[in-house]
Structure 1
């Protein structure tokens, strides 16, 4: 038996029923991991988490929290990748893009694991564009 604190219920103003604890964790994980397929296009890693967050944020405070975190982090990483592409001109970007990619992937997986465990996780390297 797991010793995990329950995710508090959330009252929805959209008329949809709130998500169960299990569904909240599942949608939070999907929100984080949905950025991976979109990463092949720089802005694509922001679009999928943004769409999932917008659809599910009214049904769970847990998904709302993780959705904002995922969107903020992916915007931050997209900006870092854009800077790396500009720095390709002086060859520094070639090395930096690999570091940005590794950091992005590692922190995305950590966030998904934390969400799966029912924990609230804040990315350590993220600008808070959405509060």
Structure 2
């Protein structure tokens, strides 16, 4: 019996497709506040079949986990300042959301073109 992560290496076309899914799929998962799930699933299923897909999935996963950590810190800032932090956090969150969307699109295009992509301001927790 074989598992999805086992099997023949992926073709270059499949590598680009799954690399793109690792990035753009977060937009679907983000509706459920679980943006990290899509790159995690892609990484778990294809990490042993393609180094290219593994790199893109890890990069996307680290970016999504970084965004989650930044959101928790922002929430703590609001709580610690008894709500006054909202004055700073809301504008930064809006700018951050737009920047994240642009970066996700850039990463998806890079994967589509067979290039690597590194997100800025990302904590690299998963190797």
What range is the shorter-chain TM-score in?
A: 0.7 to 0.9
Higher helix share: 2
TM-score, with structure 1 as normaliser? 0.82
The equivalent residue for 1:23 is 14
Q: C-alpha distance in 2, partners of 1:121/1:112? A: 9
- Structure 2 residue 72 is matched with structure 1 residue 72: no
Paired residues for 1:1-131 under 5 Å? 15-42=6-33, 44-88=34-78, 89-90=83-84, 91=86, 92-131=88-127
Q: Secondary structure at 2:103's aligned position in 1?
A: helix
Task: State the TM-score, normalized to the length of structure 2.
Answer: 0.85
In structure 1, the gaps of 5 or more residues are 1-13
Q: 1:122 Cα shift?
A: 1.0
Conserved in 1, the CA contact under 8 Å of 2:24 and 2:104? yes
Query: In structure 1, how many angstroms separate the alpha carbons of the residues matched to 2:106 and 2:6?
Result: 32
The superposition leaves residues 40-63 of structure 1 with CA deviations (integer Å, 9 ceiling, x where unpaired) of 343x00111101111011111100
Deviations 1:72-106 (A, max 9, x none): 01101111122233344222221121122112111
In structure 2, the CA distance between the partners of 1:128 and 1:35, relative to structure 1 (3 Å rule), is: same
RMSD: 1.4
CA distance in 1, matches of 2:15, 2:32: 28
The Cα offsets for residues 16-71 of structure 1, whole Å up to 9 and x where unpaired, read as 000000000000000101111122343x0011110111101111110011011000
Contact 1:80–1:100 (8 Å) recurs in 2: no
Change (3 A) 1:82 1:58: same
How many residues of Structure 1 are paired with residues of Structure 2 in the alignment?
A: 117
